[in-house]
Amino acid sequence: MKLHNTFAATLITALALTVSGGAFAKGPEQAQQGPAQMGQQSPVQMEQHQPPMKQEPKHAAPKKQKVHFIRVHSGDTLGKIAKKYHTSVTRLKRLNHLRNDTIYVGQRLRIS
């Protein structure tokens, strides 16, 4: 039982030294002194004097573009539609999965 008490006492002393700011490598005479006597701050004091941590900027989620559709009217071409809506024929074809330039009256086209 005495061995158990010795181990517990050693463990408590080690914890007390760690909490009080003492270090094992400093030796018994320095470890017995309090943090203020050794010119150190206690952990609570250190937290109060540290500058606030800089937070990394949060990356905003990319804005979802609103999807716009139009109806094809008589006389419309991909070129006219692209010019009217400030885009390109290639983009219109890609957005609408078109393999060629053929479009039909009444067809619904995605423009953005």
pLDDT tens per residue, range 38-97: 555 555 555 566 666 777 667 777 778 799 999 999 999 999 999 999 999 999 999 999
Number of structural domains the chain divides into: 2
Is 53 part of a structural domain of the chain?
Answer: no
| Contact criterion met (CB below 8 Å) for 50 and 44 | no
DSSP output for 19-84: HHT--GGG-HHHHTS-TTTTT---HHHHHHHSPPPPPPPPPPPPPPPPP-EEE--TT--HHHHHHH
- Residue 10, domain extent: 2-45
What is the predicted pLDDT for the residue at 10?
A: 73
Sequence-distant (6+) residues with CB within 8 A of 23 are 17, 30, 31
Arithmetic mean of pLDDT, 21-36: 52
The amino acid at 112: S
In a domain, 41, yes or no: yes
Per-residue pLDDT at 73: 97
81 near 92, Cβ under 8 Å? yes
108: number of CA atoms within 13 Å, CB side? 3
Within-domain flag for 61: no
Confidence tier at 29 by pLDDT (50, 70, 90)? low
Identify the pLDDT of residue 5: 64
User: 51 lies in a domain?
Assistant: no
**Is residue 63 in a domain?**
no
Record the pTM: 0.45
103 contact partners, CB below 8 Å, separation of at least 6? 72, 76, 77, 78, 109
Q: Which of 105, 42, 102, 41 is nearest to 71 (CA)?
A: 105
Establish if 101 belongs to a structural domain: yes
**Tell me, what's the pLDDT at 59?**
73
State how far the Cα of 102 lies from the Cα of 95, in Å rounded to an integer: 14
- 94 against 34, higher pLDDT: 94
Q: Which pLDDT score, from 0 to 100, does residue 57 have? A: 67
